[in-house]
């Protein structure tokens, strides 16, 4: 198993205000290389707002972000992607009418020259996609298969494959198993464990304690926009974490 004490991402004293509403107040969070961090909290606890700050969608009202030890100011999700931080949203944002390979490289497709024109290199897209899927042990008929033909678990796997196709160092996943059948949940959790083994860090937002305790190394709880509690998974229990979500210590 890949393990490292190197901190890949650190958020210090992050606050986010929307007018008179405080969504986050002095929140701290850190993730080590190859670690899976579970982030839990009730609706309105600030989980999604924090992830949007980490991924460059929101600018914090106060606080600092450090990536690989360097202070970073993220003006857009493209800035976070350039650092190697990707977000997989709950709706996956896949194009069902396009093949798997084109979804993985959507917006970042390899091209080739045809005279003065640059055109998509479909052969390279297929080859690179299949090599990447093989590396992640994601099994599909072909990279040419359309996404709309896939099961929910396969679609989630393709969204994760897309997020890790460009040398990603950290992937944030929002409720990655929420809409999946039990058999498919296991495959997605195996994929997350596979990412950890190759040194990719993962943050999971989830209400499912089974998921948290299956793949996470550490869990942190937010309550009403602030840090509430945090522990290594080996030093806590489901009941204790459920209590944190409800604001009980």
Sheet of 85-88: strand order equals 85-88, 170-174, 201-205, 36-40, 218-223, 226-232
pLDDT of the residue at 2: 55
Q: Nearest 5°: CA angle at 188, between 184 and 192?
A: 165
Name the residue ranges covered by the structural domains of the chain.
7-84+167-245
Computed from CA positions of residues 190, 209, 178, 65, in that sequence, does the dihedral angle turn out positive or negative?
negative
pLDDT at 17: 97
With a cut of 50, list the residues of the chain below it in pLDDT: 1
Q: State residue 20's pLDDT score.
A: 95
What pLDDT was estimated at residue 165?
87
Beta strands 218-223 and 226-232, pairing class: antiparallel
CA 69 to chain CA centroid, nearest Å: 20
Residue 122 and residue 111: Cα distance in Å, rounded?
A: 8
pTM, 2 dp: 0.90
Q: What is the pLDDT of residue 115?
A: 81
**What pLDDT is recorded for position 54?**
95
Q: What is the CATH number of domain 7-84+167-245?
A: 3.40.50.300
Q: Give residue-wise pLDDT tens across range 20-58.
A: 999 999 999 999 999 999 999 999 999 999 999 999 999
């Amino acid at each position: 198993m890949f393990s490292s004490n190197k901190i890949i991402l650190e958020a210090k004293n992050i606050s986010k205000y929307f007018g008179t509403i405080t969504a986050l107040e002095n929140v701290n969070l850190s993730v080590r290389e190859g670690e899976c961090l579970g982030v839990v909290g009730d609706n309105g606890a600030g989980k999604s707002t924090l992830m949007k700050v980490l991924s460059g969608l929101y600018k914090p009202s106060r606080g600092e972000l450090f990536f690989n030890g360097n202070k970073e100011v993220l003006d857009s999700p493209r800035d976070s992607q350039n650092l190697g931080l990707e977000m997989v949203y709950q709706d996956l944002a896949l194009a069902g009418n396009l093949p798997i390979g084109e979804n993985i490289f959507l917006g970042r497709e390899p091209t080739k020259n045809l005279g003065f024109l640059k055109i998509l290199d479909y052969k390279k897209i297929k080859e690179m996609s299949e090599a990447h899927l093989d590396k992640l042990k994601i099994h599909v008929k072909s990279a040419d298969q359309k996404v709309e033909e896939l099961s929910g678990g396969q679609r989630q796997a393709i969204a994760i494959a897309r997020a890790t196709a460009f040398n990603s160092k950290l992937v944030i996943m929002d409720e990655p198993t929420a809409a999946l059948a039990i058999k498919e949940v296991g495959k997605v959790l195996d994929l997350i464990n596979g990412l950890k083994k190759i040194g990719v860090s993962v943050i999971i937002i989830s209400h499912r304690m089974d998921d948290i305790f299956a793949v996470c190394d550490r869990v942190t709880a937010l309550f009403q926009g602030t840090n509430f509690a945090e522990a290594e998974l080996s030093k806590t229990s489901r009941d204790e974490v459920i209590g944190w979500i409800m604001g009980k210590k």
